[in-house]
């Protein structure tokens, strides 16, 4: 494995993602809806997939396998987010409204930096993918099969969680209520948990490749972002603003992230 070639692929991916996010920022500025960044954060990964598939020099079967699952997971997430955002392009999500309010006349500039940070995170998170696609070994390891099994559980779990929440919100009877059924009974954020588990699967898959231990950066970053930055904190704040009493009760009976975690309250 040639680390210089890996860096070259990462650089090409970074240029592509930053360019896409700059264009998305222009669109978001025009429609005054920064929420579209979530959609294109997910859709940047298929772009990275295509770049890596054609430029990497690893074993063809392994490249096809990792590209297929990576593409499937991120396209599903991107389409899901698009369907969620496209329905209210004229109404920005609460967490972005809050940021816009806090930033005031610096909002456009700060959102540009935020969008570019998302592009950088795309490339950092793709480190396992770069490593796996460059692996020249012609035999699949037991670690790669374990990674695939965990990925399948995570993919199905996240898809179920997203569908359960979408169905709950679609029912007019649930207006002002908190989704606490299905997977949402065990965790306030099962979708985030399974998203993190997906990246753990990529890390385990990457351990079979040279330098695979470096791939631990991806689940570590995802866990930090989801639990401390843009995921759980923003979502919880928005829910407490929109339905304070109902959500406070929900917090007392569920774990915030891990389904087996300690209950709040």
Condensed to tens digits (0 to 9), the pLDDT of residues 197-241 reads 999 999 999 999 999 999 999 999 999 988 888 788 878 888 888
Confidence band of 161 (pLDDT split at 50, 70, 90): very high
Q: Are residues 109 and 181 in the same domain?
A: no
The answer to whether residues 128 and 206 touch, using CB atoms and an 8 Å cutoff, is yes
Q: Which of 85, 112, 139 is the last residue of a domain?
A: 139
Q: Which of 85, 118, 139 is the last residue of a domain?
A: 139
Q: Which of 92, 115, 139 is the last residue of a domain?
A: 139
Q: Are residues 135 and 58 in the same domain?
A: yes
Q: Are residues 148 and 127 in the same domain?
A: no
Listed range (53-62, 233-242, 256-265) with the worst mean pLDDT: 256-265
Q: Are residues 8 and 133 in the same domain?
A: yes
Residue of higher predicted confidence among 231 and 168: 168
Q: Are residues 131 and 149 in the same domain?
A: no
Q: Are residues 77 and 3 in the same domain?
A: yes
Q: Are residues 126 and 150 in the same domain?
A: no
Question: In whole numbers, what is the pLDDT of the chain averaged over residues?
Answer: 90
Domain range for residue 102?
1-139
As for how many domains the chain has, the answer is 2
Q: Are residues 152 and 262 in the same domain?
A: yes
37-60 average pLDDT score: 94
Q: Are residues 196 and 224 in the same domain?
A: yes
Residue 133 to residue 55: CA distance in whole angstroms: 9
Contacts 24+ apart (CB under 8 A), 143-150: 143/204, 143/205, 143/207, 143/208, 144/62, 144/205, 144/208, 146/204, 147/201, 147/202, 147/203, 147/204, 147/205, 147/206, 147/207, 147/208, 148/65, 148/69, 148/201, 148/205, 150/197, 150/200, 150/201, 150/204
Q: Are residues 132 and 3 in the same domain?
A: yes
Answer whether residue 82 shows pLDDT above 90: no
Residue 122 to residue 12: CA distance in whole angstroms: 12
Q: Are residues 26 and 86 in the same domain?
A: yes
Listed range (35-44, 87-96, 198-207) with the worst mean pLDDT: 87-96
Answer whether residue 253 shows pLDDT above 50: yes
With a CB cutoff of 8 Å and minimum separation 6, the contacts of 143 are 204, 205, 207, 208
Q: Are residues 66 and 173 in the same domain?
A: no
Which pTM value belongs to this model? 0.86
């Amino acid at each position: 494995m040639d680390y210089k070639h890996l860096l070259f692929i990462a650089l090409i991916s970074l240029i592509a993602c930053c360019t896409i996010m700059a264009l998305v920022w222009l669109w978001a500025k025009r429609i005054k809806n920064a929420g579209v960044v979530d959609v294109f954060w997910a859709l940047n990964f298929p772009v990275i997939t295509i770049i890596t598939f054609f430029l990497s020099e690893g074993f063809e079967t392994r490249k096809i396998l990792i590209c297929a699952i990576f593409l499937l997971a991120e396209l599903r997430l991107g389409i899901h987010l698009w369907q969620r955002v496209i329905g209210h392009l004229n109404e920005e999500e609460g967490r972005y409204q809050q940021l816009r309010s806090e930033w005031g006349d610096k909002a456009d500039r700060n959102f540009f930096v935020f969008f570019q940070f998302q592009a950088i995170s795309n490339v950092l998170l793709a480190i396992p993918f770069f490593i796996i696609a460059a692996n020249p070994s012609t035999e699949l390891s037991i670690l790669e099969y374990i990674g695939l099994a965990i990925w399948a559980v995570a993919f199905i779990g996240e898809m179920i969680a997203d569908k359960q929440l979408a169905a709950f919100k679609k029912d007019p009877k649930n207006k002002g209520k908190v989704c606490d059924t299905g997977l949402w009974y065990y965790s306030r954020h099962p979708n985030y948990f399974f998203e993190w588990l997906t990246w753990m699967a990529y890390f385990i898959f990457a351990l079979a490749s040279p330098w695979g231990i470096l791939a631990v950066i991806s689940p570590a970053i995802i866990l930090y972002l989801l639990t401390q930055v843009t995921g759980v904190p923003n979502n919880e704040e928005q829910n407490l603003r929109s339905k304070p009493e109902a959500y406070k009760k929900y917090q007392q009976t569920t774990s915030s992230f891990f389904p087996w975690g300690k209950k709040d309250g």
